[in-house]
């Protein structure tokens, strides 16, 4: 009887051990990231921001975050190919889904013969952040030809881009930032290229005085070098509407100013000043920063 019990116990232990094969659970103490593999293994998970490896979970508004999964193993191999599937979801304050992409690998529907296999999931942190919102990204790797799964969770927060010094008196807005149109991303540092096109963007502008169903904004911009010489200057980028006014809905959609540079030596640092003013009141937004234009 004792031998029978020992055999049963041995069978149970062997069965349980085989079920745990290629299972892993990891938590990153620095970022709070959590991962669990069940049949699918990952050698290394990297957080990349602007092409640089980072180990943080606080992101600046507009940063592009790339999650890299290095050497994905455990996928079923069929005729020399594997068939991974990758989904990503971002949830705000543990209840509101702000991004959902159930299939990031549409281009791999017919499988891949890459080995070692590296998978990427990326998102841009252009997300609300004025009320200390908390976010979590959920990424799942599954096997189209098998039962293996790998789950990754990263809690994160979003902070304002501090490149611009913004002071508002009576005018509301959601976001204001400098956009690099050439690189298709916000500007995060003071060093910029003279060969790129930049756009100063003001979103969701509200609060100007309404007169006959219209508002009357004045939007000025000046860029001077370290010698005090003017590089760019426009007293009113919205001069076409100075007398006739503009529908407040049009102003709310977006206010922009483009910045481009001609060839020549620039004495750095340069000072950028922009002002959105209400013609019919004292309300205004003042925007300033220093830039090194190379």
- 61 occurs within a structural domain: yes
Domain assignment present for 15 = no
Task: Look up the pTM and report it.
Answer: 0.78
pLDDT at 193: 93
Which burial class, exposed, middle or buried, applies to 282 when counting CB atoms under 10 A from its CB (0-12, 13-18, 19+)?
Answer: exposed
State pLDDT tens for residues 151-183: 999 999 999 899 999 999 999 998 899 999 999
Question: What is the rounded CA–CA span in Å between residue 83 and residue 122?
Answer: 20
Shared domain for 194 and 281, answered yes or no, is yes
**Residue at a domain's end among 130, 159, 188:** 159
Residue span of the structural domain in which 179 resides: 165-293
* Shared-domain flag, residues 137 and 233: no
- In the chain, how many domains are there? 2
Last residue of a domain, one of 114, 142, 159: 159
Is residue 278 domain-shared with residue 238, that is, in the same domain? Answer: yes
- Calculate mean pLDDT across residues 261-275: 87
289 and 212 both lie in a single domain: yes
Torsion of CA 100, 137, 105, 146, to 10 degrees: -110
Q: What is the mean pLDDT of residues 240-269?
A: 87
Q: Which residue has the higher pLDDT, 7 or 86?
A: 86
Same-domain check for residues 172 and 267: yes
12 is a domain residue: no
Residues 232, 283 share a domain: yes
Is the domain of 136 the same as that of 198?
no
Q: Is pLDDT at 192 greater than 90 in this prediction?
A: yes
Do 207 and 191 contact (CB within 8 A), yes or no? no
Peptide bond into 269 cis (omega under 30): yes
**Is 216 a member of any domain?**
yes
pLDDT for 279 equals: 93
Report the CATH number at residue 268: 2.70.50.60
Is 265 in the same domain as 231? yes
Same domain assignment for residues 195 and 281? yes
Question: Is residue 175 domain-shared with residue 155, that is, in the same domain?
Answer: no
pLDDT tens digits, residue range 105-136? Answer: 988 888 999 999 999 999 999 898 888 899 99
User: What percentage of the chain has pLDDT greater than the value 90?
Assistant: 72
- The pLDDT tens digits of the residues spanning 53-76 come to 999 999 999 999 999 999 999 999
Q: How far from chain centre, in Å, is Cα 30? A: 20
> Whole-angstrom Cα distance, residue 221 to residue 145?
58
Residues 169, 149 share a domain: no
Taking only Cα atoms into account, the Rg of the chain, rounded to an integer number of angstroms, comes to: 27
Q: Using the 8-state DSSP alphabet, how is residue 138 labeled?
A: E
Structure tokens given for 219: 């939007």
Write down which residue in 104, 131, 159 finishes a domain. Answer: 159
Domain membership of residue 5 (yes or no) is: no
Residue 12 has pLDDT above 60, yes or no: no
Residue 264 has pLDDT above 80, yes or no: no
Would you say residue 65 lies in a domain?
yes
111 shares a domain with 66: yes
């Amino acid at each position: 009887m004792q031998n029978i019990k020992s055999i049963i116990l041995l069978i149970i232990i062997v069965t349980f051990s085989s079920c745990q094969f290629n299972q892993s659970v990891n938590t990153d103490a620095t970022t709070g990231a959590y991962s669990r593999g069940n049949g699918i293994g990952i050698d290394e998970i990297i957080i990349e921001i602007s092409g640089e490896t980072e180990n943080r979970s606080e992101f600046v508004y507009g940063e592009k975050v790339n999650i890299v999964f290095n050497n994905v193993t455990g996928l079923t191999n069929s005729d020399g190919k594997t068939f991974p599937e990758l989904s990503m979801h971002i949830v705000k304050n543990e209840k509101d889904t702000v991004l959902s992409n159930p299939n990031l690998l549409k281009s791999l529907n017919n499988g891949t013969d890459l080995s070692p296999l590296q998978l990427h999931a990326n998102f841009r942190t252009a997300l609300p952040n004025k009320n200390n919102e908390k976010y979590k990204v959920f990424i799942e790797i599954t096997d189209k030809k098998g039962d293996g799964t790998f789950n990754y969770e990263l809690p994160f927060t979003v902070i304002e881009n501090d490149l611009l010094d913004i002071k508002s008196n009576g005018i509301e807005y959601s976001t204001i930032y400098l956009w690099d149109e050439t690189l298709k991303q916000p500007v995060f540092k003071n060093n910029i290229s003279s060969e790129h096109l930049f756009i100063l963007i003001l979103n969701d502008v509200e609060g100007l005085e309404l007169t006959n169903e219209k508002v009357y904004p004045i939007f000025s911009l000046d860029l001077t070098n370290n010698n005090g010489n003017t590089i760019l200057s426009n007293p009113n980028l919205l001069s076409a509407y100075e007398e006739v006014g503009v529908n407040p809905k049009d102003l709310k959609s977006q206010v922009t100013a483009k910045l481009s540079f001609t060839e020549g030596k620039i004495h750095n640092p340069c000072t950028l000043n922009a002002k959105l003013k209400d013609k019919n009141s004292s309300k205004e937004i003042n925007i300033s920063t220093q830039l090194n234009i190379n």
